[in-house]
Structure formats: structure tokens, C-alpha cells
Amino acid sequence: MFERILVPVDFSRGAFTALDAVGQIPGVREIVLLHVVYNRYPSKDPDQVPAKVQIAQIELDKVRQRLEMPGVTITPVLKEITGGEISTVIFQTAAQHAISLIIMGRRGTGIIDTLLLGSVASDVLRYGRSHLLLIPTPFVYHEKALKPESPHPALFSHVLVCTDFSEPEISVLCLNELPWIQRVSLFHVVTSGDTVDGIHTAVTEAEQRLARFQDMFSGHGIPPRVHVAVGGAVEEILSFSRSENVSLILMKSAGRKSFLNVLIGSTSAPVARNTTTPVLILRNTPVVRNE
């Protein structure tokens, strides 16, 4: 469950799109709003607050007021830095507040734009310990629910679970972290095979393995379906998500650098860059508060 959420805010449209996604997630107890001010030439007077910091404080408080929700603590955090990496500030803030989920808009200025497209993106995707939800901009939530009793029908109405069968299995992570999802498509891509028979065998084996996960979701009252594709992983994920109108693409990071270099570098990052669907990266690393 995502009880503590961190949203980096740069006051762009992308940031506000990410903020809109917060209301889709049940069980939230605390939201941390992070804004980073880059000031290469800080004042030598410790009592003098730079004008852009004052403006940012005012704008951040407006965001806090806009986001107010019953029973949810909203904590604005403004960090002024003179250098270094923005990802470092994000990681430090996430550790200090024991953040379980970071939500970001995919387009924007400053933090948000750099996070997806530059070196900070690589750091957050590869080495972050919190789950990461990337929301493309613009993204419009649909009001129609598949199950009227579900409190959050849009973002979790049809989740595409992309598995390569590595441990920990993403289907298990999904049920642990997202027990409220409405419908799931279990998806695997066969990316290699020396012969037609070899490919056919790989597809059959994948379907059999997915069938076991299918039973697991059915047992939790979540309607599942299974699909095995043949081709390039990125292209097949993007194609399926478009044709089936999925509401969320779910992928995995196990937090191991060698594994991340393959999964995040070759699959998750290109999918996140090229899809118009929200992408959620699940981690299998514990959240530890840094006091």
C-alpha cells in the first residue's frame, strides 16, 4: 500500500497532472510536495531569503491548499541547492519521509523534464528505492468505472502486468501493492528463438506459466487474461497497451544494479518515454526512514 507519497513539483502542467493522480490512490496518509530551487549564487546573509525562494514558498503553499484531503497530512518541502544532482535531493527526501511511492509528470520544466529525459531520469529509474509512477501529460482520467463500488476506477481499471518471470515475480508484487485493481492483463514477450518450433515451444511454456498467475488473480476476485507476444519487448508492450486501451503499465525493478541495467535500460525507460499511458515501476527494496 502506498501510504506516503512524494511528488516533485515544478509548477508546470506536468506536475499538476501528477498531483491529479494522487487522488486515484487509496490508503494515502502523507503527501510530501518537493520543490527544488537551484541557486548557484546564494546570499552570504543567512537571514536574507532570495526572492525566487520566497515566490516558490508561496506557490508551494497554494499547491498544498489545492491538494488538501481529509485525513491526509500534506508536507511542503523546499530545498535550495547550489549544485549537485537533483536526484540526490529526491532520494534524500524520500528516505527522510519513508516514501513508498514517487509520482511525477512526464513532461514539464526543471525537475520533471530532466527526470525523464536526462541523467536524473537514469538515476531515479535505476537506483531509486521507492516505487515510481510516471504520468504522461496531458493525461485525462475517465469517470466511467468498470465496478461502481471501486473508489479509484481510472488509473487501476485495466492494468498491464509485464513479466519476464524473474524473481521476485511482478504478479506477486502487484497483488501485494495494488490489491484494489479492477482488471489485469498478464503479458510476456518471447524475444528470441532459433526456429519456428523453438518459438512455438517458448510461447506455449510462457502461456502455461502465466496461467498459474491467472489463477492467483482470479482467487483475489480480479478478472485476468493472458497474452504472449513475439518480437521486441518495448514495441510489443507499447502496441498491446494501445490496442487494449490499458489504464496502467506495470513493470518491475528488483533494485539490483546488474538486473536494472537490462530491465530498466532496455525496456522500462523506452516504454515510459514513448507511451501515452501511465507507467508504474515496482521495487522490491524495503523503505527505510532516514532520521
Tens of pLDDT along 48-103?
777 888 898 999 999 999 899 999 999 999 998 888 888 889 999 999 999 999 99
By CB atoms closer than 10 A (0-12, 13-18, 19+), residue 289 is exposed
**Do both 127 and 165 map to the same domain?**
no
Q: How does residue 138 score in pLDDT terms, banded at 50, 70 and 90?
A: low
What are 261-276's pLDDT values in tens digits? 344 446 887 888 788 8
Domain presence at residue 70: yes
Domain presence at residue 283: no
* Domain boundary pick from 119, 135, 151: 135
Structurally, the chain folds into a number of domains equal to 2
**Do both 268 and 167 map to the same domain?**
yes
**Do both 114 and 165 map to the same domain?**
no
Domain presence at residue 149: no
Could you tell me which residue, 14 or 199, shows the higher pLDDT? 199
Number of C-alpha atoms within 13 angstroms, CB side, residue 134?
A: 29
**Do both 14 and 131 map to the same domain?**
yes
Find cell 503527501 and name the residue.
31
User: Is the confidence at residue 142, as pLDDT, over 60?
Assistant: no
Instruction: Output the pLDDT for position 19.
Output: 87
* Domain boundary pick from 135, 150, 180: 135
* Domain boundary pick from 135, 169, 203: 135
Domain presence at residue 170: yes
**Do both 123 and 192 map to the same domain?**
no
Q: Which helix (H) or strand (E) holds 185?
A: strand 184-190
Find cell 486501451 and name the residue.
245
**Do both 73 and 195 map to the same domain?**
no
Q: How does residue 256 score in pLDDT terms, banded at 50, 70 and 90?
A: very low
Looking at residue 71, the DSSP 8-state letter turns out to be: T
Domain presence at residue 291: no
**Do both 95 and 169 map to the same domain?**
no
Domain presence at residue 284: no
Residue spans of alpha helices (H) in the chain? 13-22, 51-67, 86-96, 111-117, 119-127, 170-177, 196-219, 233-243, 257-263, 269-274
CA 177, 261, 117, 288 dihedral sign is positive
Domain presence at residue 141: no
Number of C-alpha atoms within 13 angstroms, CB side, residue 256?
A: 7
Q: Give pTM, 2 decimals.
A: 0.84
**Do both 16 and 111 map to the same domain?**
yes
Q: How does residue 149 score in pLDDT terms, banded at 50, 70 and 90?
A: very low
What CATH number is associated with residue 189? 3.40.50.620
Could you tell me which residue, 108 or 227, shows the higher pLDDT? 227
Instruction: Output the pLDDT for position 213.
Output: 94
**Do both 92 and 126 map to the same domain?**
yes
User: Is the confidence at residue 148, as pLDDT, over 50?
Assistant: no
**Do both 221 and 255 map to the same domain?**
yes
Instruction: Output the pLDDT for position 158.
Output: 95
Domain of 56 in residue numbering reads as: 4-135
Domain presence at residue 143: no
**Do both 23 and 108 map to the same domain?**
yes
Q: How does residue 216 score in pLDDT terms, banded at 50, 70 and 90?
A: very high
**Do both 11 and 122 map to the same domain?**
yes
